[in-house]
Structure 1
Amino acid sequence: MTANHDSTTAHGEPELSDSLKTFGAVMKALREAARLTQEEFAPRVRYSAAYIAKIEQGRRFPPEDLPERAADALGPVAGKVLAAAARSLRRRAGLASWFLQWAGIEEEAITLFAYECRGIPGLLQTEGYIRAVFDRRLPPLAEEQFEQQVAARLMRQELLAERPNTSFSFIIEQAILERQLGGADVTAALIDNLLVQGGRRNVEILVMPLKQPDHSGVDGQLYLAETPCNSWFGYVEGHDSSTLLTDPRLVSAMLQRYGKMRSQALSHEATVGLLKQMRGAL
């Protein structure tokens, strides 16, 4: 998505802040005191073992509801300890407060849909495009903030490789590419990346043509995620703000709109053809 933020080192690994490592160590100690392995603990809190491992290593910001879920698995005292540890966390640089809740859902999603009419979804952006986006951020970012947010967005893209069993679907307006944000070279690299990522077995990338009289995306961008428990959530972003939609009626309407847009966008073959044509014209 266009506003995904995380904090990483210069080498692309998540920044291991003391507070995140402390939280992870506390959770690990409580889990081991209950004589549970990560594989045994994970389903009890409805997260994957890999995700639990990253939290214990201090590589992931814990979801807001993790202490409550842990209380059911480890007992009320353990839940209170984790809740206190969570409150003491210093938020990672580059991770917007309004993005935290969706970030946790996205990490665990077994299905992720995205429709963008404003910018390329964060999971598909190249470094050049990311820099072009943040270079135009107002108010301007300090150099350290700039580099942190670039590294953060690049790290989030690991989801595409880390979750081969998750189905990713992206619908992107052709106008976004025609705009050539950052210039022709940035756009060329971006199109190359779309062709590569769209070749993954679990990734679908469709372009919505410039001219489409029958268009169901008039309400703007939208994101949808299906959790391992087969619950669906919707998500939309605005100016430094966001809304997580949990009402089944609203999410159902978003799913219907997304399904309709899939039929209105170019097919996979037509999308590849258009992208190659645009790439050749640069």
Structure 2
Amino acid sequence: MDLVDGTGTVKAADGVDPGNGFLRCFGRQMKLLREAAGLTQAELGARVGYGEAQIASVEQGRRIPKPELVDAVDRVVGGGGLLSAMKGEVGKARYPGFARQYVQLEAEAVELHVYDTHIVNGLLQTEEYARAVFTMRRPLLDEGTIDQRVAARLARQEIFSRKSRPLMSFVIEEAVLHRPVGGSAVLRGQLEQILLIGHNRNVEVQVMPTARADHAGLSGPFTLIETVGQRRIAYAEVASISGLLTERKAVRELEAQYGIIRAQALTPSESLAYIEKLLGEV
């Protein structure tokens, strides 16, 4: 569940991740249907094009199945749409519990404005950059979790191909663009991706120079969201602790702060030119 404090901040509850329980429940349903169909895990895997170990992992709630696997299993075991009907909830379970509510709001946004200080925002990350970020996470994540987190992060980028694309802006600290996360080749690919996305008509990318003496963003990164229902929400995350700010006064203060940050940063055209210059140096 989520907790709301007196300031209108919605926080992820410590130690609670309903997605894990749902995955175990889904896995048990899948196992019951498989057994009712008289199939072993190996036989089911062969029919849907997956290995026995992968089927076992899904049934044990340790692996998050892709939508196409869910549909294929449903057909083979004669689930009658039971498993397929749970694809939406299975998809949500790809995200860690503390970020799940934010991801849902992000997907529904009509406006999204982001300020980042340490790494490139997940919406802009290449697969290689995202994998490097999760690989460096401490405590260490297992390979299966890394694969799930990378896939989930890339799935969020469907926002750029939505029929009604949101108005988006990103302010990135200059130091982030110099940090060789994953190595120079990965960084080069990441800079190219930022340039590509930055040329979209609904997206503006700005760079905050490290040498800027007057800086309104020293309190850390945050995201501003406006939903279809005209709700204005702010989101902040530190490590695995996140908060959604819903109280109007708190959100308004961050909106004002973001406006100043954008004014202090390089303009969008100057920023893209700067990133192109960096590409020639990497």
Instruction: Please say whether Structure 1 and Structure 2 have the same fold, judged by a TM-score greater than 0.5.
Output: yes
Distance 1:249-1:94 versus aligned 2 partners, 3 A rule: same
Which consecutive residues of structure 1, in runs of 5 or more, have no partner in the other structure?
20-24, 27-55, 62-89
1:214 alignment counterpart: 214
2:88 alignment counterpart: 60
Runs of at least 4 residues of structure 1 off by over 4 A?
A: 13-19, 56-59, 90-93
Question: In structure 2, what is the Cα distance between the partners aligned to 1:270 and 1:137?
Answer: 33
1:145 alignment counterpart: 145
Question: In structure 2, what is the Cα distance between the partners aligned to 1:146 and 1:123?
Answer: 17
Query: Secondary structure at the residue paired with 2:112?
Result: strand
Q: Cα deviations across residues 136-182 of structure 1 (Å, max 9, x unaligned)? A: 11221222111111111111111111154310111000101111111
After TM superposition, list the pairs within 5 Å mapping 1:76-91 onto structure 2: none
CA contact (8 A) 1:8 1:155 kept: no
Distance 1:270-1:14 versus aligned 2 partners, 3 A rule: farther
Which consecutive residues of structure 2, in runs of 5 or more, have no partner in the other structure?
1-18, 20-63, 75-80
Say which one has the larger Rg. Answer: 2
Question: In structure 1, what is the Cα distance between the partners aligned to 2:136 and 2:111?
Answer: 31
Report the alpha carbon displacement of residue 222 of structure 1 after superposing the two structures with TM: 0.6
1:110 alignment counterpart: 110
Distance 1:15-1:235 versus aligned 2 partners, 3 A rule: farther
CA contact (8 A) 2:116 2:171 kept: yes
TM-score normalised over the length of structure 1: 0.69
Distance 1:271-1:181 versus aligned 2 partners, 3 A rule: same
- Residue 243 (structure 1) aligned with residue 243 (structure 2): yes
* 1:126 partner letter: T
Q: How many residues are paired up?
A: 213
After TM superposition, list the pairs within 5 Å mapping 1:8-157 onto structure 2: 9=66, 16=70, 58-61=86-89, 93-157=93-157
Report the alpha carbon displacement of residue 240 of structure 1 after superposing the two structures with TM: 0.8
* 1:280 partner letter: G
CA contact (8 A) 2:115 2:170 kept: yes
- Residue 227 (structure 1) aligned with residue 255 (structure 2): no
CA contact (8 A) 2:172 2:207 kept: yes
Report the alpha carbon displacement of residue 116 of structure 1 after superposing the two structures with TM: 0.3
| Identical columns (%) | 34
Distance 1:14-1:215 versus aligned 2 partners, 3 A rule: farther
CA contact (8 A) 1:181 1:187 kept: yes
- Residue 184 (structure 1) aligned with residue 212 (structure 2): no
* 1:238 partner letter: V
1:170 alignment counterpart: 170
